[in-house]
Chain A
Amino acid sequence: MNATVNTVTKQTLKYKVMTDNIKIDGDDNSDSRHILKHFSEEHRATVKHLYEKSRQARPKQEHIGTDEVETALSKVRQRLNLKDDSQPGAGSSTGHAMDWKWMVAAASVLIILSAGFLFYPKTIEVPYGETMTIEMSDGSEVELNSGSKLQYSRLFPLINREVGLNGEAYFRVQEGSQPFIVRANNSIVKVTGTRFNVRSWQEESGTETEVTVTDGSVQFYPEKKESQSVAIGPGQISRWAKNLKMPTSPDSVSLDHVLGWRNQSFAFSKKPLEVILLEMERRFDVTITLEAKEYRSEKVTIHYVNPKDAEVILKDICRVKGLRYSASSEGFRIYE
């Protein structure tokens, strides 16, 4: 009898402690706020606790190990006729029984295959939160902003000096007999030896391509329309998007703003809020959800020298625009 009493008391105490320990700023997302509104003040704390605690009430899980996942992946790949990367060096040698004709045949297949490989472009992708500088084999240098992707032939610069860009990069191009060409979102920047910045994100609405030149000059034109070419000189910027017949006529620009990303500063003048938020996501590797959707195209001008995190910037933007923000499980959310 006594034992029962003790247990029950203990349970009650445990409960008390638990309900007192509610973290109000836990995993606060818009859903949970919305839900809690349905409950009266006196119940809110308990409901929130039950809501959060429920996560752990998931029934016992079966163990699924890496081996099992890899086997399953191989199966799926086989069904789809995709190449399998899980067994490096697959295939076994068949010994010495092959006669020389076969050897020649095998060798020629190999040569053809590796030639194919050479034409398969090389892709460099910069992780969120980092920048990267690449030295090309012609001596040119490409500085890539966070999240950017650069593609070029493995034969660069033998056949041509062409690179593909999705993102933002600063190019220091070595003079050469062949023109250096940047392809970005159906536009082309053609140069000989010069320094310039290209900003062209496929993900951003309108997918505008912006070219800013620091030294020398470049030709900028929509794909297959070299006749619409615009020449951009030092300190000038030009933009092109699919709805434009030709790039905008070159305009002078503050190079500090455009090239700020190279020195960890963060600057934009009169850019839509959503563009700035995307840039913050890439730079600081966070997720920012704009719940106040009407503010998407609100123009914002900011300039920070080496901001320590996304919140510093977010705080100011919200204050100026009369918005609020809070931390969410993945990053931040912005609301009215």
Chain B
Amino acid sequence: MNNPTNNQIKKWVAEISESQQEAFGMLFRALYPQLVQFSLRYTRNKAVASDITQDAFVTIWRKRREMKQIDSPKAYLYRIVRNRSLNYIRDHSSRIMGLEAMKEPKVEMSDLENNEQADQQLQLLKQWIGELPDRRREAFELSRFEGLDHDEIAEVMEISPNTVNNHIVAALDHLNERHSEYRNEANSKVQGYD
């Protein structure tokens, strides 16, 4: 996981805008895997996710002269990949695919017991995140899974940073609520058997 810093990315993009091919290779190697993973969460199809991500890089090179003006090239790449992934779902939707399918399956208590090794809290967290409304979950996942800051998420989702902030706060509010429910439940169960 050698994630390049935003500074490093900016430097590459500055070089790319001067048609330096080595920098293009470096940017590609650094960001391609995470963008494919990101697209996969929408498209659920490796070949499609790879194509979409490669297209995004082709766009970057073709528009390299305009890239210098872009505030966050990383957010720009994520935006292209997200838009194309959403288009793909729209054009190939069979209702099961895409955002709906991104949700983690519900975790039952019995599953947890069967798999003591698994980090139970993590399983629950996945489930709770899956319960969030689509846009809210997207914003939250871009922040937590992709490590983008609020300004970048705003650019990726084409909404205001303020809305991003509201989404994240609302998402955490939900997680917090589910967490305390869960805790109370667990406590009362213990007491019930005592």
CB contact list, A207-246 vs B, under 8 A: none
Task: Give CA–CA (A1, B113) in the complex, Å.
Answer: 12
Contact status A73-B7, CB under 8 Å: no
Task: Give CA–CA (A57, B124) in the complex, Å.
Answer: 9
Q: With a CB–CB cut-off of 8 A, which chain B residues contact A1?
A: 193
Stretch at the interface among B29-37, B81-89, B92-100: B29-37
Contact status A11-B186, CB under 8 Å: yes
Contact status A55-B189, CB under 8 Å: no
Task: Give CA–CA (A35, B140) in the complex, Å.
Answer: 12
Contact status A330-B58, CB under 8 Å: no
Given A46-B176, A76-B58, decide whether A54 and B190 contact each other with a Cβ distance below 8 A.
no
Q: Does A116 make an interface contact (CB < 8 A)?
A: no
Contact status A57-B40, CB under 8 Å: no
Task: Give CA–CA (A64, B113) in the complex, Å.
Answer: 32
- Rounded to whole Å, the gap between the CB of B116 and the closest CB of chain A is 7
Given A46-B179, A47-B176, decide whether A69 and B193 contact each other with a Cβ distance below 8 A.
no
- Rounded to whole Å, the gap between the CB of A128 and the closest CB of chain B is 8
Q: With a CB–CB cut-off of 8 A, which chain A residues contact B141?
A: 58
Q: Does A254 make an interface contact (CB < 8 A)?
A: no
Contact of A73 among B28, B37, B112, B193 (CB under 8 A): B28
Contact status B176-A39, CB under 8 Å: yes
Q: With a CB–CB cut-off of 8 A, which chain A residues contact B180?
A: 46
Contact status B46-A62, CB under 8 Å: yes
Given A29-B149, A287-B6, decide whether A82 and B176 contact each other with a Cβ distance below 8 A.
no
Q: Does B121 make an interface contact (CB < 8 A)?
A: yes
Task: Give CA–CA (A11, B147) in the complex, Å.
Answer: 29
Contact status A59-B104, CB under 8 Å: yes
Contact status A12-B37, CB under 8 Å: no
Task: Give CA–CA (A83, B147) in the complex, Å.
Answer: 32
Q: With a CB–CB cut-off of 8 A, which chain B residues contact A15?
A: 121, 183, 186
Task: Give CA–CA (A11, B124) in the complex, Å.
Answer: 12
Task: Give CA–CA (A8, B58) in the complex, Å.
Answer: 52
Q: With a CB–CB cut-off of 8 A, which chain B residues contact A281?
A: 7
Q: Give the interface SS of chain A, mostly helix, strand, loop or mixed.
A: helix
Contact status B189-A57, CB under 8 Å: no
**Complex interface bits, B1-14 against A, C-beta within 8 A gives 1, otherwise 0:** 00001110000000
Q: Does A96 make an interface contact (CB < 8 A)?
A: no
Given A12-B190, A64-B33, decide whether A18 and B104 contact each other with a Cβ distance below 8 A.
no
Q: Does A4 make an interface contact (CB < 8 A)?
A: yes
Chain A: interface residue count, which band? 35 or more
Q: Does A61 make an interface contact (CB < 8 A)?
A: yes
Contact status B25-A85, CB under 8 Å: yes
Task: Give CA–CA (A53, B140) in the complex, Å.
Answer: 12
Task: Give CA–CA (A62, B50) in the complex, Å.
Answer: 12
Given A12-B183, A15-B121, A82-B61, decide whether A39 and B37 contact each other with a Cβ distance below 8 A.
no
- Rounded to whole Å, the gap between the CB of A240 and the closest CB of chain B is 23
Task: Give CA–CA (A252, B186) in the complex, Å.
Answer: 76
Contact status A80-B37, CB under 8 Å: no
Task: Give CA–CA (A65, B130) in the complex, Å.
Answer: 28
Task: Give CA–CA (A29, B116) in the complex, Å.
Answer: 34
- Rounded to whole Å, the gap between the CB of A22 and the closest CB of chain B is 13
Q: Does B143 make an interface contact (CB < 8 A)?
A: yes
Task: Give CA–CA (A29, B143) in the complex, Å.
Answer: 12
Task: Give CA–CA (A39, B25) in the complex, Å.
Answer: 44
Q: With a CB–CB cut-off of 8 A, which chain B residues contact A77?
A: 21
Contact of A35 among B33, B165, B183 (CB under 8 A): B165
Task: Give CA–CA (A262, B40) in the complex, Å.
Answer: 49
Contact status B144-A57, CB under 8 Å: yes
Q: With a CB–CB cut-off of 8 A, which chain A residues contact B61?
A: 76, 80, 82
Given A12-B190, A75-B54, decide whether A31 and B150 contact each other with a Cβ distance below 8 A.
yes
- Rounded to whole Å, the gap between the CB of B176 and the closest CB of chain A is 5
Contact of B145 among A9, A38, A55, A69 (CB under 8 A): A55
Q: Does B69 make an interface contact (CB < 8 A)?
A: no
CB contact list, A45-90 vs B, under 8 A: 46-47, 50-51, 53-59, 61-62, 64, 69, 72-73, 75-77, 79-80, 82-83, 85
Task: Give CA–CA (A220, B173) in the complex, Å.
Answer: 62
The 9 closest A-B pairs by CB, nearest first: A64-B33, A54-B144, A58-B145, A57-B125, A5-B193, A38-B169, A50-B175, A57-B126, A12-B186
